[in-house]
Amino acid sequence: MELKDTIALVTGGSEGIGRAIAEALTSQGSKVTITGRREDVVRNTAEELGLDWSVGDVGREQDAARTVSSVIEKHGRLDILINNAGYGLFKPLVETTLEEMEGVYRTNVFGPFLMAREAARQFIKQSSGELINIASTSALKGSAGRTVYGSSKFALRGMTECWRDELRRHNVRVMLVNPSEVMTDFAAKTGVQRERSDKKLRPQEIADAIIGALKVESRAFIPEFSVFATNPF
């Protein structure tokens, strides 16, 4: 598809992968709105990149509805939704609390559901749309210490498959992206220290892959793909 003048919404767009996606879409001529929970960070990123912005929590129904509706009210349509907002928690099963599980699911599972539901209503109305969910290679294989984060990405992968089957008849392309380890502050925020390496993925590689997938002529699409570093060792 041609990205110039498309209307895009990127959740968790103020930093890391989300920021790189927003910047890449802007470079293609897309009109981008980013959203996030921290007003100062979202506003600063938007001002730096020349984007529209909205503050809200994707896991809160009223915030999700308001964010999507505000973009549609301004532009009259919505062409692309990137569900990127999410965070991790890595702990042994016996040390994990229900509150922690619910918190991660609120953002990583309920958030994409709410945003996708609101966007899908517009996509169906206009008989077009691009819905891209950012999952993780943790959605492909479970591992110790990833009960919370891994299962949330498995859930996102499952929802994506359901939405893909449901929305194809409305000319809506639903895609899932599974990044491997990316050099952002994601791990540090969970208390996990990762050694920085120029061999590992940067947010830009994920953004480039998404732009490539979006540029495929709209009669076809890439349902799911993973992005790995060639030689991270």
The residues annotated with a catalytic role in the active site are 149
Phi, psi of 192 (to 5 degrees): -100, 125
d(CA 43, CA 113): 25
CB 202 within 8 A of CB 124: no
How many CB atoms lie under 10 A from the CB of residue 206? 25
CA 30 to the chain's CA centroid: 17
129 has which bridge partners? 172
- Please give the Cα distance from 81 to 125 (Å, whole number): 15
- CA pair distance 152, 224, nearest whole angstrom: 17
CA distances in angstroms from 222 to 1, 7, 173, 189, listed in the order given: 13, 20, 8, 31
Residue 87 tokens, joined: 């965070």
Could you tell me how far CA 221 lies from the centroid of its own chain?
17
Q: For residues 182 and 209, what is the distance between their CA atoms, to the nearest angstrom?
A: 13
